[in-house]
């Protein structure tokens, strides 16, 4: 008789334990949902208080019991800054995370999405649009640990350019570097396929860049891409170590490595070694595009040959220096380099 009673007690204890676990899990899931709702509401209120606008249609949170599943049918955000005035207009958005791994998030943007950014003075505007984006990222201890994104049909334009830069696809990934010497460093790899530049199709290289790939380390990762964030990054010794940069553009093939930073006026400051095949086609294209005179183009071909070392298969090895707003090969000025952002207060 003792055994049946013991079995009943065990069954009852198990049932109570399972019930408590289910209640605790439901409470945990609800806390997570509340945190998402409060974060989005706080972010929206902050934008509206600065004169901006946030409209999220078809907002929903589901996925119980195994996931947090946040979705919206469409999104419209207009933020007035500071530091930047920007907007985001897009179709469906969906973000998912497992209940037991809430810091690992998968994001999918369906349909068309467009982002616009204005400089502080409002004089120029950059627009980026995509037809689809999938991404995954991991956040731990309030820091971005890893990221991977895949984009389709990208178009980027800026006031003053002859037209948009478009690309068929792009894949970007990144992760925090490990080790005591890599504190704050972030490695990024990626590739862009079939980039169409706003150039005349008659130039020697053509208007389509077949492929651009990179493997680089940003140390440390800037707090923001605006002038203030980049100024702090620069003053703290920020730099980009290029382990590999490869360009395939018509007859031009470039493989480079080196280091890039910024000077006081936010212009590139760099020391790069590039192995180049097809440099004559590049110079011809600069002449045809009006970036270099015919006489200077002819002199550039001679100077590059003199200042470079031979590489395999008829290529050349060129030391490139970016300093004082110019890209130079030896003592020859190749291209003027503008600031990457507007300076604060201008």
What are 81-101's pLDDT values in tens digits?
766 788 999 999 999 999 989
Phi and psi, residue 38, nearest 5° = -65, -40
Condensed to tens digits (0 to 9), the pLDDT of residues 287-300 reads 877 777 888 778 87
| 296 vs 105, residue with greater confidence | 105
Phi and psi, residue 271, nearest 5° = -135, 110
CA distance 90 to 169: 18
Going from the C-alpha of 84 to that of each of 29, 79, 98, 131, 136, the distances in angstroms are 35, 8, 33, 24, 25
CA distance 32 to 102: 9
288 phi-psi bin (left φ>0, alpha ψ -120 to 50, beta other): alpha
CA distance 176 to 184: 7
Local structure of residue 342 (DSSP, 8 states): P
pLDDT at position 259 is: 96
Condensed to tens digits (0 to 9), the pLDDT of residues 180-205 reads 455 678 999 999 999 998 776 667 78
237 burial class (0-12, 13-18, 19+ CB within 10 angstroms)? Answer: exposed
pLDDT band at 7 (very low <50, low <70, confident <90, very high): low
Strand, helix or coil for residue 66: coil
Is the pLDDT score of 309 beyond 90?
no
Condensed to tens digits (0 to 9), the pLDDT of residues 323-338 reads 999 998 777 777 889 8
Q: Find where tokens 């199709």 sit.
A: 201
Contact call for residues 97 and 68 (beta carbons, < 8 A): yes
pLDDT at position 182 is: 56
pLDDT at position 346 is: 44
Best CA proximity match to 271, nearest among 254, 259, 283:
259
pTM: 0.78
């Amino acid at each position: 008789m003792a055994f049946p009673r013991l079995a009943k007690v065990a069954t009852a204890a198990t049932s109570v334990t399972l019930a408590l676990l289910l209640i605790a899990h439901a409470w945990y899931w609800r806390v997570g949902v509340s945190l998402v709702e409060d974060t989005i509401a706080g972010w929206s209120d902050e934008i509206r208080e600065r004169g901006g606008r946030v409209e999220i249609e078809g907002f929903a949170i589901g996925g119980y019991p195994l996931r947090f599943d946040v979705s919206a049918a469409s999104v419209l955000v207009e933020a007035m800054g500071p530091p930047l005035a920007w907007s985001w207009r897009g179709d469906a958005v969906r973000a998912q995370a497992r209940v037991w791994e809430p810091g690992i998030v998968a994001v999918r943007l369906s349909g068309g999405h467009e982002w616009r950014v204005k400089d502080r003075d409002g004089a120029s505007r950059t627009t980026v649009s995509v037809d689809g984006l999938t991404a995954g990222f991991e956040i731990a201890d309030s820091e971005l640990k890893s990221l991977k994104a895949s984009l389709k049909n990208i178009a980027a334009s800026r006031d003053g350019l002859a037209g948009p830069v478009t690309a068929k696809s792009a894949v970007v990934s990144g992760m925090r570097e490990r080790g005591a010497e890599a504190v704050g460093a972030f490695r990024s790899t990626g590739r862009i396929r079939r980039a169409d530049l706003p150039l005349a199709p008659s130039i020697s290289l053509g208007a389509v860049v077949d492929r651009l790939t990179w493997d680089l380390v940003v140390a440390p990762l800037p707090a923001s891409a605006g002038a203030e964030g980049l100024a702090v990054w620069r003053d703290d010794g920020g730099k980009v170590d290029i382990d590999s940069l490869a360009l395939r553009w018509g007859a031009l093939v470039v493989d480079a490595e080196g280091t890039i930073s910024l000077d006081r006026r936010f212009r590139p400051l760099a020391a790069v070694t590039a192995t180049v095949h097809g440099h004559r086609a590049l110079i011809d294209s600069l002449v045809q595009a009006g970036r270099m005179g015919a006489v200077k183009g002819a002199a550039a071909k001679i100077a590059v040959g003199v200042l470079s070392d031979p590489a395999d298969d008829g290529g050349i090895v060129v030391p490139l220096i970016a300093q004082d707003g110019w890209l130079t090969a030896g003592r020859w000025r190749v291209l003027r380099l503008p600031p990457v952002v507007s300076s604060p207060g201008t």
